[in-house]
Amino acid sequence: MKICAVYNKYINNIQEIIHILETGLKSSNAQYVISDSENLGKDFDFVFAIGGDGTILNVAKFYAPLNIPVMGVNLGRLGFLSQADLYMFSLILKDITEGKYKIEERIGLECNGHIALNDFVVKSCQSTRAAKFGLEINSAPVCEYISDGLIISTPTGSTAYCLSAGGPILAPTVEAFTIVPICPHTLTARPLVIPDNEILTIHSDDCPLSVAADGCDLKINSNKVTIKKSGCKIKLAFLNDNNFYNVLREKLFWGVSPCIN
């Protein structure tokens, strides 16, 4: 088994992190490479992404076309996509080399050749004001929004920006997307859940659109964009005891009663 451990080189205490990775990997029987997230190789059986959710998203998207599973190890704050923190790395590595893990295939989105695992966020290039956005699904007009923008989210991204904007939480295996308006200037604009085989077109006559994929701005100078399901799925690896609903409770305090003193 050939393993790659990828870390975000801009994080703090990088030498300590590399030492922990090397100590764990040397104790295993696997071949291994340790690299930063800007120098990714391709000939691996399994990849660890060491960092926050942003690092995990970028690494997972890189390896998606190569059909290589990626497991996140959290160094950030929430770490919703990660399995555990760095100090459990040796224990996690033992389970991986013994085949005690599962792979979840997550759907992604595509826009102008760019892939998003969480979401595409479409706004006006004049970010200081609301704009009018027209939405078409499969070339049929659906509605117009006067809002700060639209979030087109995968089930994986439903616990990210989509959730903060009032969208629904989708289980990762649901084959659907959500459309969530950002601060709509009407009481009737509600989030919409649609099948993942639909093709979305968003346009604005006010000014060119600003588009971000998983929080990274794209250079798309157009009044119209098309968003659809990506042709490849992202393989995320988790230990066998990982449960989506447990993660909701532990990290988002879902279903937890408020404390009353």
Mind telling me the catalytic residues? Answer: 53
Length of the chain: 261
Tell me which DSSP letter residue 73 carries.
E
Comparing CA positions, the residue from 227, 178, 180 lying closest to residue 201 is 227
Sole residue written with tokens 């997230």 = 37
**What's the alpha-carbon Rg for the chain, to the nearest Å?**
20
30: number of Cβ within 10 Å? 15
| Strand partners of residue 209 | 124
Between the CA atoms of 185, 186, 188 and 191, what dihedral angle is there, to the nearest 10 degrees?
10
SS3 for 147?
strand
CB neighbour class for 160 (10 Å; exposed up to 12, middle 13-18, buried from 19): buried
Q: Cβ atoms within 10 A of the Cβ of 134, count?
A: 16
Tokens representing 77?
């704050």
